[in-house]
């Protein structure tokens, strides 16, 4: 399964290019639909591109543009995540969200936000007065002019969810190829032959493009791409755990046409997140953090939430969202090309992914043939990374704690380096376990993490 | 109920254990979250340890072993992580046997210190592997792990030169030491030693602007007098900028001094909850292990007195505040029983001027001073000067 070379004459039913959250959800969907799927990832681990850095929110879709594919996928994905999260042990922090207006001008836009939510079928959304906002969130700074309360918004874990989707695909017979960059492909006699940078070709009946920030380049394998990706960079600040209690709900700004704006939210891991920025760039792979921008984020955070001034920053990160010239998702089936396009999945992709996967399955069924879902699929259970539920460090018979900031035990790290989807990079190990992700950033645990990781992950240490 | 539980088996905690045992206490418990006791010296495999407290010159691991040996009579439990302090000396822990509560008459917090990693420094660039801190690097190097061959060293504190020594010992050649200030932070002639003995260029008045590299560090951009240049390297070691490891104290509601980052104490090492004492580097950014050990010993003497005869009530303490260029002073509260009282602090930045001690509004001591931010400033409040006073301020003008 994992990392094993596929026999050159094997023809998979489906080849999915890109193991971001969308690719992982599509992989799960089609494997559970009884098809032989191969998930192809250019990086050393899954969730290495657009999906690895976002705000990890489960959106109701209250602010989507009504009637769009995005609105439908987010609504459906939201519902599906809530259906399966317990079974996979995926986190869900029921925080609710507050859109906070910081001026009269912004307050004037609140009725429109409520109306849009209702048009999107999110009917439990309502406007609240400034005093009620402050009563819910006494930590907010001065200048609150009003708010909109969205009870259904929630915090999830941007890592465990796609890992769970990929694992379920693997457990039910799917194949994952990492370190495998698709460079081209030809369709002959209803079979795609994909060429890769590393050599072996991959054959499949249908190709699904889930290539995120490379979506238009991969699309060009099938046709001149109708969309062009301009990666939109978002930088985030992560505050240390004492900041977790400064707010209870997700604090959203009144959005602009371009971006949802700077969000403040608890994380599933017990931190507080401030971000993202929205900066267009040509570079598809490298998302740098910039000190001046981070200072501005910190300033904005302190203005909205003065208590942040007393809490140290743990780390900062940046991600790239695959924006196109279109506002909506770009999802379609190309029957003659035996290809399904899933492009331009922006920041809502984490929530939308399960809905996107279901939509892809519908497209498949209408164009390529009926699906026969597995009668009794296997379900993985993900290790708990949240502080809201008991962690292994608090259980009798635990192994030694290696990472003291995040309380990660040796057994958790060993497990993440083993099994059907072992960490393929140090970043993947860190995201799977939280080791080295806390306030000391590896001061106390680097040696012990490397003792476990270096034999399994190449390139960390010199001989 | 146990009489004393010490949290942290490093120089301060083990020295405190030694003194408490010497005072006849038979139920001293030392909790250590790591699998082995000894603290950070375990990983500092070069000479310089034990001089101030044990009057010997040892390598760090030997010093750590001696501290453990001399604490014999105390029970040291490893793999025990403290997760919370509750009022009155009840601490929540998790050990290999799961969660538990330990109750003691007195708890001594001796959890030490760590360096500021990249995150809070808000350095621009990519986030590749190869970025670390001195402490992590030294522990890796001691285990034979070679994470890079030619790192840059950021900072010029004593520990930064320790990083260079460790590197050379491991066959790693730092390509530069980068210091934002106009002169190095450690006492001279550290820069001359670095330059001439170790062959590492010391770049002062130079700021780290950006880290580059996708999977691994490939270079850094530095800026000197407005001009930027790229230095090829494969690692970045952030050194110093120490912060007390006081997370549990902070989240448990003990008063923290925002200037020092550590628990605020009185002159008996008592925290805001008088069941909790604190000593060693958890009190403030780093001092030499010998200073931390001596503080552990003095705190232990105060604890022994508290158990035997009782200490003066913590109420009615004189609050100590700082002003001007002073960053912090400890103890932060004074209980005047015996004078003179010793206070220690640091300046926020390099400063030349006058250090004044005010009791209420009256100047009781004043002296000219020239300090660097990483140098300890010692002050003495002379006998008889605090009678009837309510507040002390330490001003650096």
ipTM for this prediction: 0.94
Q: Is the dihedral of CA A133, A138, A141, A143 positive or negative?
A: positive
For residue A443, what is the nearest residue in chain B, using CA coordinates?
Answer: B136
- Taking residues B282-289, report their average pLDDT: 93
Q: Is residue A460 part of a domain?
A: no
Residue A338: Cβ within 10 Å count: 18
Q: Are residues A328 and A308 in the same domain?
A: no
Report whether B367 contacts B351 (CB < 8 A): no
CATH ID of B2-114+242-314, from 3.40.50.261, 3.50.50.60, 3.40.630.10, 3.40.50.300: 3.50.50.60
Token pair 């259980």: residue: A395
SS3 readout for A232-289: EEEEEEEECHHHHHHCCCEEEECCCCCCCCCEEEECCCCCEEEECCCEECCCCCCCCE
Average pLDDT over every residue of B33-61: 92
Topology of the domain comprising B319-396: Immunoglobulin-like (2.60.40)
The count of domains in chain A is: 3
DSSP A93: B
Q: Is the pLDDT of residue B42 over 70?
A: yes
- Identify which has the larger pLDDT, B316 or B367: B367
Gap from A438 CA to chain B (nearest CA, Å): 10
Judge if pTM exceeds 0.90: yes
Query: Of A354, A386, A418, which residue is a domain's last?
Result: A386
State the pLDDT at residue B389: 86
Asked whether residue A223 falls in the same domain as residue A361, the answer is yes
Residues of chain B contacting residue A449, judged by C-beta atoms under 8 Å apart? none
Architecture of domain B118-238: 3-Layer(bba) Sandwich (3.50)
Q: Do A439 and B145 touch (CB under 8 A)?
A: no
Residue B383 pLDDT level (bands cut at 50, 70, 90): low
User: Which candidate, A426, A431, A423, A427, places its Cα nearest to that of A450?
Assistant: A426
Chain B CB contacts of A460 under 8 Å are 129, 147
Residue B304 confidence (pLDDT) above 70: yes
Instruction: Using the structure block, give the residue that is written with the tokens 């910081």.
Output: A102
Check: CB of residue A88 under 8 Å from CB of residue A380. Answer: yes
Query: Do A237 and A337 sit in the same domain of this protein?
Result: no
In a shared domain, residues A350 and A212: yes
What b/e readout covers B233-243, taking b as 16+ CB neighbours within 10 angstroms?
bbbbbbbbbbb
Neighboring chain B residues of A310 at a CB cutoff of 8 Å: 258
**Cα distance between residue A128 and residue A149, in whole Å:** 7
Residue whose token pair is 């695909």: A169
Q: Is position A463 within any domain?
A: no
Same-domain pairing of A82 and A21: yes
SS3 labels along chain B: CEEEEEECCCHHHHHHHHHHHHCCCCCCEEECCCCCCCCHHHHCCCEEECHHHHCCCEEHHHHHHHHHHHCECEEEECCCEEEEEECCCEEEEEECCEEEEEEEEEEEECCCEECCCHHHHCCEECCCECEEEHHHHHHHHHCCCECCCCEEEECCCHHHHHHHHHHHHCCCCCCEEECCCCCCCCCCCHHHHHHHCCCCCEECCEEEEEEECCCECCEEEEEECCEEEEEECCEEEECCCCEECCHHHHHCCCCECCCCCCECCECCCECCCCCEEECHHHHCCCCCHHHHHHHHHHHHHHHHHHHHCCCCCCCCCEEEEEEECEEEEECCEECCCCCCEEEEEEECCCEEEEEEEEECCEEEEEEEEEECCCCCEEEEECCCCCCCCCEEEEEEC
Q: Is A385 helix (H, G, I), strand (E, B) or coil?
A: coil
Instruction: Specify whether A138 is located in the same domain as A283.
Output: yes
From the list B97, B147, B247, the residue facing A461 with the nearest CB is B147
| Cross-chain Cβ contact A241/B251 below 8 Å | yes
Looking at beta carbons, which residues of chain B come within 8 Å of A442? 117, 132-133, 136
- What pLDDT, on the 0 to 100 scale, is given for residue B88? 95
Q: Which residues of A touch B114 (CB under 8 A)?
A: 440, 443-444
- Give the distance from CA A224 to its chain's centroid: 28
Q: CATH 3.50.50.60 residue ranges in chain B?
A: 2-114+242-314, 118-238
A103 lies in the same domain as A3: no
pLDDT for A168 equals 98
**pLDDT value at position B198?**
81
Distance from CA of B245 to the nearest CA of A (A): 9
Same domain as A280, residue A171 = no
Q: Reduce the DSSP state of residue A15 to 3 states and report it.
A: strand
Strands A313-323 and A230-239: antiparallel
* Ranges for all domains in chain B classified under CATH 2.60.40: 319-396
The residue written with tokens 């249908």 in the block is A206
Spatial separation of the C-alpha atoms in residues B233 and B178, rounded to whole Å = 13
Give pLDDT tens digits along chain A (463 positions): 334 444 457 999 999 999 999 999 999 999 999 999 999 999 999 999 999 988 999 999 999 999 999 999 999 999 999 999 999 999 999 999 999 999 999 999 999 999 999 999 999 999 999 999 999 999 999 999 999 999 999 999 999 999 999 999 999 999 999 999 999 999 999 999 999 998 889 999 999 999 999 999 999 999 999 999 999 999 999 999 999 999 999 999 998 766 668 999 999 999 999 999 989 999 999 999 999 999 999 999 999 999 999 999 999 999 999 999 999 999 999 999 999 999 999 889 999 999 999 999 999 999 999 999 999 999 999 999 988 888 999 999 999 999 999 999 999 999 999 999 999 999 999 999 999 999 999 999 999 999 999 999 999 999 8
Supply the range of the domain harboring residue A362.
1-92+155-229+324-386
**Statement to judge: residues A311 and A331 lie in one domain:** no
Q: Which residue among B124, B129, B247 sits closest to A460, beta carbon to beta carbon?
A: B129
- Check CB contact under 8 Å for A316 and B122: yes
Residue A213 belongs to a domain with what CATH number?
3.50.50.60
């Amino acid at each position: 399964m994992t990392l094993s070379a596929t026999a050159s004459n094997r023809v998979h039913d489906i080849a999915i290019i890109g193991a971001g959250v969308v690719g992982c959800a599509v992989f799960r969907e089609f494997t559970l639909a009884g098809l032989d799927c191969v998930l192809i990832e250019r990086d050393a681990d899954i969730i290495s591109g657009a999906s690895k850095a976002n705000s990890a929110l489960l959106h109701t879709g209250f602010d989507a543009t009504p009637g769009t594919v995005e609105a439908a996928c987010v609504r459906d994905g939201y519902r599906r995540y809530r259906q399966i999260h317990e079974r996979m042990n995926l986190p869900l922090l029921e925080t609710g969200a507050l859109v906070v207006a910081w001026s009269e001008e912004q307050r004037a836009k609140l009725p429109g936000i409520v109306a849009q939510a209702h048009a999107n079928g999110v009917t439990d959304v309502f406007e609240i007065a400034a005093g009620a906002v402050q009563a819910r969130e006494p930590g907010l700074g001065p200048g609150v002019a009003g708010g909109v309360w969205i009870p259904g918004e929630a915090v999830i874990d941007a890592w465990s969810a796609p890992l769970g989707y990929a694992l379920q695909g693997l457990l039910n017979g799917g194949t994952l190829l990492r370190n495998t960059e698709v460079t081209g492909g030809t369709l002959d006699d209803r079979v795609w032959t994909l060429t890769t940078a590393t050599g072996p070709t991959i054959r499949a009946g249908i190709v699904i493009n889930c290539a995120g920030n490379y979506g238009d380049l991969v699309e060009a394998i099938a046709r001149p791409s109708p969309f062009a990706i301009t990666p939109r960079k978002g930088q985030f600040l992560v505050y240390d755990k004492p900041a977790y209690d400064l707010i209870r709900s997700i604090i959203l700004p009144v959005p602009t046409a371009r971006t949802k704006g700077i969000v403040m939210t608890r994380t599933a891991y017990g931190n507080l997140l401030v971000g993202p920025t929205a900066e267009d760039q040509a570079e598809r792979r490298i998302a740098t953090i910039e000190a001046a921008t981070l200072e501005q984020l910190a300033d904005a955070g302190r203005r909205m939430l003065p208590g942040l001034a007393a809490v140290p920053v743990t780390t900062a990160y940046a991600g790239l969202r695959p924006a196109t010239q279109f506002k909506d998702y770009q999802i379609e089936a190309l029957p003659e090309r035996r290809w399904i396009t899933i492009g331009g999945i922006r920041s809502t992709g984490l929530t939308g992914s399960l809905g996107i996967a279901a939509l892809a399955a519908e497209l498949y069924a209408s164009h390529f043939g009926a699906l026969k879902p597995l009668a009794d699929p296997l379900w993985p259970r993900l290790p708990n990374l949240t502080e809201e539920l008991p962690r292994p460090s608090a259980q009798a018979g635990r192994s030694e704690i290696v990472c003291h900031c995040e309380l990660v035990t040796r057994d958790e790290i060993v497990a993440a380096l083993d099994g059907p989807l072992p960490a393929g990079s140090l970043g993947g190990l860190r995201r799977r376990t939280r080791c080295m992700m806390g306030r000391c950033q590896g001061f106390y645990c680097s040696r012990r993490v490397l003792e476990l990781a270096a034999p399994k992950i190449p390139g960390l240490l010199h001989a | 109920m146990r009489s004393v539980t010490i949290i942290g088996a490093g120089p301060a905690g083990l020295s405190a254990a030694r003194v408490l045992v010497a005072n006849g206490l038979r139920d001293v418990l030392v909790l250590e979250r790591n699998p082995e006791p000894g603290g950070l010296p375990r990983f500092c495999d070069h000479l310089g340890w034990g001089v101030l407290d044990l009057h010997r010159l040892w390598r760090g691991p030997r010093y750590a072993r001696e501290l453990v040996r001399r604490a014999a009579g105390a029970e040291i439990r490893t793999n025990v992580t403290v997760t919370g302090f509750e009022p009155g000396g009840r601490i929540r822990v998790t050990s290999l046997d799961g969660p538990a509560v330990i109750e003691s008459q007195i708890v001594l917090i001796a959890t030490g210190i760590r360096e500021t990693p990249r995150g809070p420094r808000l350095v621009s660039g990519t986030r590749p592997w190869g970025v670390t801190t001195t402490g992590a690097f030294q522990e890796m190097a001691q285990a034979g792990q070679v994470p890079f061959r030619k790192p840059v060293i950021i900072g010029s504190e004593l520990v930064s030169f320790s990083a260079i020594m460790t590197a050379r010992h491991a066959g790693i050649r730092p390509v530069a030491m980068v210091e934002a200030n106009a002169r190095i932070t450690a006492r001279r002639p550290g820069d001359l030693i670095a330059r001439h003995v170790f062959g590492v260029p010391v770049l002062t008045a130079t700021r780290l602007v950006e880290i580059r590299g996708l999977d691994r560090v490939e270079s850094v951009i530095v800026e000197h007098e407005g001009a930027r240049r790229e230095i090829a390297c494969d690692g970045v070691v952030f050194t110093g900028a120490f912060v007390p490891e006081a997370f549990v104290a902070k989240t448990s509601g003990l008063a923290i001094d925002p200037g020092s980052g550590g628990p605020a104490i009185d002159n008996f090492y008592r925290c805001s909850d008088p069941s909790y004492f604190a000593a060693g580097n958890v009190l403030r950014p780093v001092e030499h292990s010998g200073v931390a050990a001596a503080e552990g010993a003095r705190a232990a003497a105060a604890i022994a007195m508290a158990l035997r005869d009782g200490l003066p009530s913590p109420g009615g303490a004189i609050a100590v505040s700082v002003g001007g260029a002073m960053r912090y002073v400890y103890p932060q509260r004074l209980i005047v029983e015996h004078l003179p009282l010793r206070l220690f602090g640091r300046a926020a930045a390099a400063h030349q001027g006058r250090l004044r001690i005010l009791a209420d509004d009256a100047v009781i001591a004043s002296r000219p001073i020239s300090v660097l931010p990483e140098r300890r400033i010692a002050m003495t409040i002379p006998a008889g000067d605090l009678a009837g006073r309510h507040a002390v301020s330490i001003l650096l003008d």
